[in-house]
Structure 1
């Protein structure tokens, strides 16, 4: 496990590519895109195409499928680096990178042969997963007897889906979706749901409202609407009625990637606060020479480093479950990293004094972004309860 503490030569090269991508493509436009009124206008296909050209979009595909086979640890490092420039871009890529991993592992050979090339060959190819509904949000993490409202009825050769998902990352931008719907209405969502592969242009499937979020605006979240949408039997992922087993087996790193995303925001906040403390003079000297500020910066650095260590352990363990998998590694890293990031970003804003409250300084964007992962990928209190259920 010592490899989680030392970057390999390949990882350093990949991260340098991401840094150049951030500097050339994301940083010059992120603030302007974030301030657009229409949430759909905050999204940039130019950035996605540039990520494709840099090899970022498809990096979790195996070499057989045209990627580099990036493991979960390397992917977490990349997501953190992307988030240093903008959280929304990190979310767009994180969703796609993790679902590309699932697309290769959870599907049949026939499904892979059909869908992986579609994703790989489209420079705008993004992926999305449809789970959350207005009344079944935390039930996904703490399964409740109530079923999904989005349901599928069996018919000849397939299923007819009706219902709606919301808050779906990449929802209005994806070309391929993994969607969880109820196929056994007498059971709860954990026992009676099924995962389906669905393409964007499927008749009966449409995009609804694009959510107007407080932060993370360069990533779109939207409703997925199903109206008598026929999906063939061959598009079932795994076993009918056992959709949650797909999540259990193939999504151990999802929480880790969410944690890496919010960590990137915290690192940027800390680094900006550190530079400000060196040049801002109060009481006749730079504020970094005041003990209170020095101690606060040290604690911010500590929180970021602990978050990263936790994330890297979880990411490595997700790919090496034969070495022992602690289920709390699929929940607690995001809780810790998001709570730590909220503290770091608010402290960084305080260190800037009144300047930190001004929009043109940029901390209000970091605050809005950091707030997203207090609930995204699972409300923290819910994840803590889920973790307790694992342990006790």
Structure 2
């Protein structure tokens, strides 16, 4: 359970108790077996998604009209971390869905919300994707390099004809609804010539390609999305044509803050394994934790987790209350800090466990694979540092 110093009210405590129970009952018993599946598609579990819906997790960030609790960003961030203590992939499935759902509620018009969020509310298997990354465009969009998307939509009567491919897109072979960034002004870059389109699974000309076989975070699927002479009607344009950068800007803070929380959950799981092993393993005639080097290392793990969580929670609060001092670098740096801390804790956990940690049955190996995910996911750390530096040196 999250340390009491980070829980601000009884509502948060009750929500986290419910999430912890969900993880213990639905995620932990399945996670290792799902992670071990050779086919990445077999690592995904609709049973967990449906159980999350029954617990009220799938829609909790939305307003009551759409089946949610209208949780603020800080409370949602806490939930995402708690999910990741059970499994990183499950945390990512719902981090994506919770933040994209909230984003849709803000940026879709009334007609789009009616045909998207009401069916989303009523479908216990509905999850969501946002689609920007392409084979030739990853960090370009993070650092603001003026390159165009290679996925393009050309204006035609009543709509647009789209062609191209996205890849590495979270949930995309499973999602029901998608927000897709495409180049619509060929003379400009993704920074000022792209448009966001709303699509539903099964739309003609819009198909799923290869499902990526990832090292870790395996309970969440990522895949390619293919657009082949895909006609998209004008009513599926989100906001205004060629103003996708405005839509993207409103999404950025929650994306990286929630990514920080996902990887923090992995760090906590690693810390708990290290602490348990150090308190029970006898070497040199005493428990590992009675050796000063190990004892100090355990304390340093907690320091890194608490400091990263404090930074992330402050960012989450300010994202909802920017008038209190929001700094744009908070949309980048907490994820960098949390993922670096998690990777350091992962290597220490391996060392503390000795040879036992290298054996799969100990469960450390899976967590180490998961810990590497967010050194790049939701933005390569070096690119996020450069983006933050651009704000600092503006």
Aligning the two structures, in what range does the TM-score lie when normalised by the shorter sequence?
over 0.9
Q: Matched residues in 1 for 2:245 and 2:307: separation? A: 31
Q: What does residue 142 of structure 2 align with?
A: 141
Q: What does residue 365 of structure 1 align with?
A: 366
SS in 1 for 2:197: strand
Q: CA deviation at 1:4?
A: 9.1
Q: Is the alpha carbon distance of 1:4 and 1:286 closer, same or farther for their aligned partners in structure 2, counting shifts above 3 Å?
A: closer
Q: CA deviation at 1:209?
A: 0.2
Q: CA deviation at 1:252?
A: 1.7
Preserved CA contact (<8 Å) 2:7 2:13? no
TM-score by length of 2: 0.98
1:297 aligns with 2:298: yes
Where do 1:116-265 residues align within 5 Å? Answer: 116-265=117-266
Q: Matched residues in 2 for 1:101 and 1:73: separation? A: 13
SS in 2 for 1:208: strand
Q: CA deviation at 1:145?
A: 2.5
Q: CA deviation at 1:384?
A: 0.5
Q: What does residue 383 of structure 1 align with?
A: 384
Preserved CA contact (<8 Å) 2:271 2:301? yes
TM-score by length of 1: 0.98
Q: CA deviation at 1:249?
A: 2.1
Q: What does residue 357 of structure 2 align with?
A: 356
Preserved CA contact (<8 Å) 1:253 1:314? no
SS in 2 for 1:20: helix
Q: Over residues 129-162 of structure 1, what are the superposed CA-to-partner deviations in whole Å (9 max), with x where a residue is unaligned?
A: 1100000110111222321010001011111110
Q: Is the alpha carbon distance of 1:68 and 1:156 closer, same or farther for their aligned partners in structure 2, counting shifts above 3 Å?
A: same
Q: Over residues 79-124 of structure 1, what are the superposed CA-to-partner deviations in whole Å (9 max), with x where a residue is unaligned?
A: 0000000000000000000001011001111111111111111000
| Contiguous gaps of at least 5 residues in structure 1 | none
| Contiguous gaps of at least 5 residues in structure 2 | none
Q: What does residue 55 of structure 1 align with?
A: 56
Q: What does residue 67 of structure 1 align with?
A: 68
Q: What does residue 272 of structure 2 align with?
A: 271
Q: Matched residues in 1 for 2:252 and 2:389: separation? A: 19
Q: Matched residues in 1 for 2:230 and 2:111: separation? A: 22
Q: Matched residues in 2 for 1:12 and 1:138: separation? A: 37
Preserved CA contact (<8 Å) 1:95 1:128? yes
Q: Matched residues in 1 for 2:246 and 2:308: separation? A: 28
SS in 2 for 1:167: strand
162-171 vs 341-350, which moves further:
341-350
Q: Matched residues in 2 for 1:328 and 1:359: separation? A: 38
SS in 2 for 1:134: coil
Q: CA deviation at 1:125?
A: 0.4
Q: What does residue 28 of structure 1 align with?
A: 29
Q: What does residue 338 of structure 2 align with?
A: 337
Q: Is the alpha carbon distance of 1:66 and 1:4 closer, same or farther for their aligned partners in structure 2, counting shifts above 3 Å?
A: farther
Preserved CA contact (<8 Å) 1:90 1:261? yes
Q: Matched residues in 1 for 2:188 and 2:360: separation? A: 49
Preserved CA contact (<8 Å) 2:268 2:305? yes
Preserved CA contact (<8 Å) 2:59 2:66? no
Counting matched residue pairs gives 390
Q: Matched residues in 2 for 1:257 and 1:4: separation? A: 20
Q: CA deviation at 1:5?
A: 4.2
Preserved CA contact (<8 Å) 1:136 1:148? yes
